[in-house]
Amino acid sequence: MSSDVVRVEFKNDLAYVTINNPPVNATSTAVRAGLHEAVKTVAASSVKAAIIQCEGRTFVAGGDITEFDKPPMEPQLPDVCDEIEACSVPFIAAMHGTVLGGGFEVALACAWRIALGSTRFGLPEVNIGLIPGAGGTQRLPRLVGVEKAVEIACLGTMFSADKMLALGALDQVVENLEDGVFAFVQNLPQRPIGVSQRSSASPGSEWFSEQRTMWTKKSKGQQSPLHALDAIEWATQTDFAEGLKRERERFMQLKGSSESKALRHAFFAERKAAKPEAIAGGTVLPINIVAVIGGGLMGAGISVAALGAGYQVHMVERDAAAAAAGMQRVTDILESSVKRGKLSETGMAVQLEKFSSSSDYADCADAELAVEAVFEDLIVKCDVFKSLDKAMKPGAILATNTSYLDPQAIFADIGNPERCLGLHFFSPAHIMKLLEIVKTPQTSADVLATSFDLAKKMRKVAALSGICDGFIGNRMLAAYRRQADYMLADGALPFEIDAAMRDFGMPMGPYELQDLTGLQIAWATRKRQAATRDPKERYVTLGDQLCDMERFGQRSGKGWYRYEDGNRKPIRDEAVEELIMKYSANQNIKRQAFSKETIQYRLIAALANEGALIVEEGIAETRSDVDVVKLHGYGFPRWRGGPMHFVEQTGITDFKVHMAEIIAQSPNSWRMANWFSN
């Protein structure tokens, strides 16, 4: 019997079971039911082997996410896999594309596995807070050994066909799938014992405990890799049926976990952020040459990101010496990528061939896009765009990488303002994933669509922002820091706040992060904002005092902490702590103790409140866009989903109480978002 999505055909003494469930042949209910029927049909025949293959661009690339939050429907994938393995006719998986999750589990149940050389494999369930749920953690260690199975299932990344062949997970890697399978069945080897029936030797309980320590450290609060490790250990302790049962139970339990919900939210939030409403109807304009103005820290990183995406890049600097220095910065980044094995020598040569630098704007004449990354100074930036306006074609897209200036002021004198926008990269620009695409009221949908396409080519995660001080990310960072400073003044110390936020899952607390990146930029911003700041707003001067004392952070050997012998490890500094106590005393503040939880709640409340205001003001289209910004530009733990998701999951009413406390403690400094006040 054949279904729409799974058909069985008999040719000579072979059965071909073909899955056709576009776009990625996911293991939806129809596919599972189709496979269940197909196994029965094959078993009733007298063929010598059955080949499972897929139409379209890939073999089964995972589960059907649209069925995710619904109750599981029969037949379930673990049972289908067992049926494939137990069938009287041996199955061959003939694979191409990306063989992921349930697809890989189906393949593991087959007697043999053959793949095209370009195929990639993985068990990515940990990335959405799960473990494989159809025998992956039980069959894989039995096939490739516990150590490799842990690497594959706990990392959740993809592996090449060659690597899989070397591990023994594949029987053959071929250049042409049809021919390869045909040749294989001509000399069909003796049917091997089913993978589930093999034994899996344990590397010992000590090894597992070392791995647990290692994965705990590596996954920074995320639990799913540890669950995958547990499940693989069961494969060494119990028989297959018991291991499979436990794996399924853990899988079902994790599906409802807050971690899995947060990771799934992050996944969908990224997809949504890539297609904002503002690009609807926009056409992607062709871009071949990108001009980058300014070859400093950001300009060099942006150039490397553009070269990596295949664009030709021309950098313009102030003079010949600066142009040569910019060229050197780009070369240094590429060389370091080669050293780290991220880029081949040939790849570097190809990119350098496409790169040039000069101090002459006329060299930008053919570029379709210019990204400006010169000093953060309105007059300097306006001059740059005047020169670009003259040198480039009238339709060329003009972008500024400004952090805090108003793009509308920067483009005030430029013709065709619909081609102007902000492209706000994060440092280091060739590494950081986030790109804030900043629209002005005039920016056209075509220009926005082109920018989102550019981001995709550069492998960036893009989020659309309107104009406000600091755009989405830095404006939220400012609110977070402001609240942290209020707590310092009211009773906390930097090390307590940092420890609380690390414990929450941030890679660093706000004060150690400031020391790492330097205190000057935020200081300059606060000075700039001084004239427009509401005089009634509570303003804690501690950061300014540190800057006055030239305590600029790690680079000056001291900031919120002190640093010894060029070491990056922050050491509590009595001088700073005394300064804080003195500040509180001078302000007549009776210092109070803040628990770790209060610190976390208050900082997340401040962050989420600002995020909600950003949405309410129309700066971001959705709260999930705000989450994307914090996840990819500011190290917010992905397994918490982002501040907006976290607050929503934990309970908006809870956070409303915290926000009310924050407001009561620092009146005139906050505006409660409608999201909280409704």
Can you read off the two tokens belonging to residue 310?
Answer: 């295949």
Within residues 188-217, the interface with ligand NAI by CB under 6 A covers none
List C-alpha distances in Å: 527 to 32, 531, 539, 552. Answer: 63, 8, 12, 15
For the CB of residue 608, give the shortest distance to ligand NAI in the complex, in Å. Answer: 23
For the CB of residue 373, give the shortest distance to ligand NAI in the complex, in Å. Answer: 4
For the CB of residue 296, give the shortest distance to ligand NAI in the complex, in Å. Answer: 2
Q: Is 373 in the site for ligand NAI (CB under 6 A)?
A: yes
* Residue number of the CB atom closest to ligand NAI: 296
Among 125, 233, 317, 436, binds ligand NAI (CB under 6 A): 317
Can you read off the two tokens belonging to residue 193?
Answer: 């014992």
> Cα 23 from chain centroid?
23
Can you read off the two tokens belonging to residue 48?
Answer: 């010598």
Spatial distance between the Cα atoms of 221 and 268, rounded to a whole number of angstroms: 21
Among 163, 318, 433, 457, binds ligand NAI (CB under 6 A): 318
Pick between residue 1 and residue 297 the one whose CB is nearest to ligand NAI: 297
Q: Are 302 and 428 in contact (CB under 8 A)?
A: no
* Single-letter code of the amino acid located at 267: F
Spatial distance between the Cα atoms of 84 and 36, rounded to a whole number of angstroms: 8
HEC letters along 518-557 = CCHHHHHHHHHHHCCCCCCCCCCCHHHHHHHCCCCEHHHC
Within residues 453-512, the interface with ligand NAI by CB under 6 A covers none
Binding mask 418-447 for ligand NAI (x = CB under 6 A): -------xxx--------------------
* Single-letter code of the amino acid located at 253: Q
Q: Which residues are catalytic?
A: 105, 125
DSSP conformational letter for 89: S
Q: Is 254 in the site for ligand NAI (CB under 6 A)?
A: no
Can you read off the two tokens belonging to residue 370?
Answer: 């210019």
Q: Is 608 in the site for ligand NAI (CB under 6 A)?
A: no
Among 274, 316, 438, 606, binds ligand NAI (CB under 6 A): 316
Please count the residues of this chain forming the interface with ligand NAI, following the rule CB under 6 A: 23
* Single-letter code of the amino acid located at 159: F
List C-alpha distances in Å: 234 to 99, 127, 208, 238, 487. Answer: 24, 21, 11, 6, 47
Spatial distance between the Cα atoms of 594 and 9, rounded to a whole number of angstroms: 69
Q: Is 524 in the site for ligand NAI (CB under 6 A)?
A: no
For the CB of residue 425, give the shortest distance to ligand NAI in the complex, in Å. Answer: 6
Question: 657 Cβ partners below 8 Å, 6+ apart?
Answer: none
List C-alpha distances in Å: 538 to 484, 664, 665. Answer: 13, 12, 10
My answer on whether omega of the bond before 75 falls inside 30° of 0, hence cis, is yes
Pick between residue 318 and residue 596 the one whose CB is nearest to ligand NAI: 318
For the CB of residue 422, give the shortest distance to ligand NAI in the complex, in Å. Answer: 10
| Span near ligand NAI by CB under 6 A; candidates 81-89, 314-322, 545-553, 633-641 | 314-322
For the CB of residue 621, give the shortest distance to ligand NAI in the complex, in Å. Answer: 22
Q: Is 294 in the site for ligand NAI (CB under 6 A)?
A: yes
Q: Is 111 in the site for ligand NAI (CB under 6 A)?
A: no
Spatial distance between the Cα atoms of 465 and 319, rounded to a whole number of angstroms: 33
Among 384, 391, 392, 437, binds ligand NAI (CB under 6 A): 384
Pair type for strands 397-400 and 369-372 = parallel
Q: Is 380 in the site for ligand NAI (CB under 6 A)?
A: yes
Q: Is 298 in the site for ligand NAI (CB under 6 A)?
A: yes
| Contacting residues toward ligand NAI, per CB under 6 A | 293-299, 316-318, 322, 373-376, 380, 384, 401-403, 425-427
